[in-house]
Structure 1
Amino acid sequence: MTLLSVLLLTLVALACVWLVTEPLRARTPDDPDAAQRAQLSAERDRLYADLAALTDEARRPDLERRAALTLRGLDALPPAPQARRGTRTLALGLLGGAALLTAVGAVTFVPRWQLASLNASEAANVQAVLRLPALKAQAQRSGTKEAYLAWGKAAFDSNTFDQAVTAYGNALKLDPRQPEALRRLGILLLTRGEQTGQAISAEEAQQAALLIRTGAQLAPNDPESQLLLGFALARFGEDRDALSALERYRTLDPKGRDADDLITALRARLNTSDPGLRVYAASCASCHGPSGGGGIGPSLRESTLTRAALSAVITQGKGAMPAYPNLKPEELAALLNVLEGWQRETQ
């Protein structure tokens, strides 16, 4: 919890103490806003109770919005007059309730206010970390593969890799044919050197690769299967197979961008003999396909544009296609030679 959160909770606690101990300090006239204050307080307490017992997360945003409006309404009321004598018990009871509500707020509202300042990925990681203790306890208590998989997924998504290895390992003991557990455990073992600074042996690397391959065979149409398979193959120098797996990943998940840099690097390594193909691999293949057959962008093999028109589109851009004005003349000429060659092949 950040320093700002601690200060906020301290202020909330002090405000609660001040308000609920008002009846202890002096005798004053009746509160003219008593009815409205009681109604808002009852609504606040009911919403807090609903939040504390919430099982359907889809309802949380609405409940939190209503709770915030209720608190705002309470804050807008003038301070309550001091209570009459004889209300000490009530005041002390309210003080205990305020302490409880402050504790509830510490684990519900404040973390969610903090999440509002994060992007979607960062917020998801924080939420995964917050769920880890409960998921770990549930898995250890129930011992089911479903519970271990849920724990492993939250740990993996939050980069808590030691827990992910434990959770997925236990899940595979219960059922060795689980693609997610196989591929994720494999990639964690394969990249353990980067995580710990300790190199893994060749035998361990082969075992990790086997886990990833098995996971991909069991779920060939899962984008993550092909993504992790591509990364593993690239580490073993199997560039063509790695590129094939990563291209399939992009086909299965057109919005996936996790492999863009590696795909570009693999294409460049595979096309070093032809300068035109090298330029194409670095600048064009991610949209138009590895061989110009189309992908996010149209097929270049079926294009009927002239050399001059192709040159204009490449250097100036058109529609969704970006411009590449910084290509050297020899690079542009080599790329145009490749594109014209593809056009002749389809005529």
Structure 2
Amino acid sequence: MILSLLLLALIGGAALWLVLEPLRRAAPEDPDAPERTRLAAERDGLYTELNTLEDEARRPGLERRAALTLRALDGLPPASRARNPGRSRTLALAGVGVAALLTVAGALTFIPRWQLASLDAGEAKKVQAVLKLPALKETAQQTEKGADYLAWGRAAFDSANYDQAVSAYGNALKTDPRQPEALRRLGILLLTRGEQTGQQISAEDAQRAALLIRTAAQLAPEEPESQLLLGFALSRFGQDQDALTALERYRTLDPAGREADEVITAVRARLNQSDPALSLYAGSCASCHGAAGAGGIGPSLRESGLSRAALRSVTVNGKGAMPAYPKLTDAELKLLLDLMEKWQREG
């Protein structure tokens, strides 16, 4: 902290000297004055608009324009004006003070936004988490509150500081052992520790990780991440059908989520190789009813109350938006009906 203050004072002194030195002597009229005035007015207008903005969707565009305006101002040659030395020095000192305040405010508000504007959503989230991490860690260690430990753990997890995430979530569980987020994230970190360290995870640790993730899913079944991490863990243990059910549930809870796509594709491929009914279903039905029959564009087959005869009629003849499949052989139709009835029993 002291070193930072000294460095800031040194920079401020250098800036002050650079501002005051040209004022000791007269200079010719600034040829860039009209352009400088125009850019300064545009900058001030953008600042005003940003400070009073109500439509947040316009903020990134305005911030980019402000950044370009400041860049254009910085690109102009330094202005030199002949003024009264005493008055000029006073104005220069005041200008340096205002500039310092604007610089600090910009560093805390606009500059991070401009930097993040060039990143995708995932990268921007990671950068923001890294920036928040030290303060969140300090707060959690001071207050020892569960909510503060969770905030620290979340920032550490999102920024891939997994050692800190383990520490933060472990302390959160000491305050409340029924924290779904802490349970499932500790579980997945334990399960994937081998990928981070290059060491093989033991069977005991694998079972412990699975228990943490399952417990979190039971405590918070409606949270998308619970189903996502449960599906991932189940796939690691070779329980592909249960994994697919959990991952399809994740997609239902978070339709915009894409984190399960690769795992779902891999699980489907494994299932389709060993189960002809699933292979047939995947080719004709999964795009509407979900890979595990849990629903999607079309209704859930697991929640269906239709009889076998009704299922057969709808499959062969179609109904509403459901297309007909009259060319299915008797053997193929039997496979599909058996699969749908099985899902009805499972729910």
TM-score by length of 1: 0.67
> Which of 299, 322, 338 in structure 1 is aligned with 2:332?
338
Shift of 1:345: 9.9
- What is the identity, as a one-letter code, of the residue corresponding to 2:241? R
Cα distance in 2 for residues equivalent to 1:244 and 1:267: 11
Shift of 1:80: 6.2
Q: 1:125 to 1:339 in 2, by over 3 A?
A: farther
Q: 1:138 to 1:265 in 2, by over 3 A?
A: same
Q: 1:82 to 1:67 in 2, by over 3 A?
A: farther
SS of the residue corresponding to residue 85 of structure 2 reads coil
Match of 1:5 in 2: none
Cα distance in 2 for residues equivalent to 1:260 and 1:194: 20
Shift of 1:60: 11
Shift of 1:188: 0.7
SS of the residue corresponding to residue 272 of structure 1 reads helix
- What is the identity, as a one-letter code, of the residue corresponding to 1:24? L
Where do 1:1-347 residues align within 5 Å? Answer: 20-21=19-20, 24-27=23-26, 61=59, 79=79, 81-86=81-86, 87-88=88-89, 90-92=91-93, 94-95=95-96, 98=99, 101-102=102-103, 104-275=105-276, 277-278=278-279, 280-281=281-282, 285=286, 287-290=288-291, 294-297=295-298, 302-304=314-316, 338=332, 342=336
Is contact 2:220-2:226 (8 Å) kept? yes
Q: 1:142 to 1:293 in 2, by over 3 A?
A: closer
Is contact 1:17-1:98 (8 Å) kept? no
Q: 1:95 to 1:181 in 2, by over 3 A?
A: same
Kindly report the root-mean-square deviation, in angstroms, between the aligned alpha carbons of the 2 structures.
4.7
Q: 1:201 to 1:119 in 2, by over 3 A?
A: same
Q: 1:194 to 1:242 in 2, by over 3 A?
A: same
Is contact 2:288-2:298 (8 Å) kept? yes
Is contact 1:288-1:298 (8 Å) kept? yes
Cα distance in 1 for residues equivalent to 2:81 and 2:132: 43
Shift of 1:27: 4.4
Is contact 2:280-2:332 (8 Å) kept? no
- What is the identity, as a one-letter code, of the residue corresponding to 1:151? W
Cα distance in 2 for residues equivalent to 1:121 and 1:186: 22
Is contact 1:272-1:278 (8 Å) kept? yes
Q: 1:171 to 1:104 in 2, by over 3 A?
A: same
Matched residue count: 299
Cα distance in 2 for residues equivalent to 1:339 and 1:23: 90
Cα distance in 2 for residues equivalent to 1:95 and 1:289: 63
Is contact 2:315-2:325 (8 Å) kept? no
Is contact 2:245-2:292 (8 Å) kept? no
Shift of 1:244: 2.5
Q: Deviations over 1:219-278 (max 9, x none)?
A: 111111111111112222223322222222223223322223322333343343444632
Cα distance in 2 for residues equivalent to 1:254 and 1:181: 24
SS of the residue corresponding to residue 142 of structure 2 reads helix
Cα distance in 2 for residues equivalent to 1:181 and 1:94: 50
Shift of 1:120: 1.8
Q: 1:338 to 1:22 in 2, by over 3 A?
A: farther
Q: Deviations over 1:3-24 (max 9, x none)?
A: xxxxxxxxxx9xx769843762
Cα distance in 2 for residues equivalent to 1:268 and 1:238: 13
Match of 2:4 in 1: none
Cα distance in 1 for residues equivalent to 2:121 and 2:28: 51
Is contact 2:249-2:294 (8 Å) kept? no
- What is the identity, as a one-letter code, of the residue corresponding to 2:23? L
Shift of 1:176: 0.8
- Where structure 2 has 5 or more consecutive residues not aligned to the other structure, the ranges are 1-11, 302-310, 341-347
By relative contact order (CA 8 Å, sep 6+), the higher-ranking structure is 1
SS of the residue corresponding to residue 21 of structure 1 reads helix
Cα distance in 1 for residues equivalent to 2:187 and 2:91: 60
Cα distance in 1 for residues equivalent to 2:83 and 2:175: 63
Q: 1:235 to 1:283 in 2, by over 3 A?
A: farther
Identity %: 64
Shift of 1:121: 2.0
Of residues 156-165 and 98-107 in structure 1, the stretch that sits farther from structure 2 once superposed is 98-107
Q: Deviations over 1:186-216 (max 9, x none)?
A: 1111111111112222112211211111111
Cα distance in 1 for residues equivalent to 2:202 and 2:162: 19
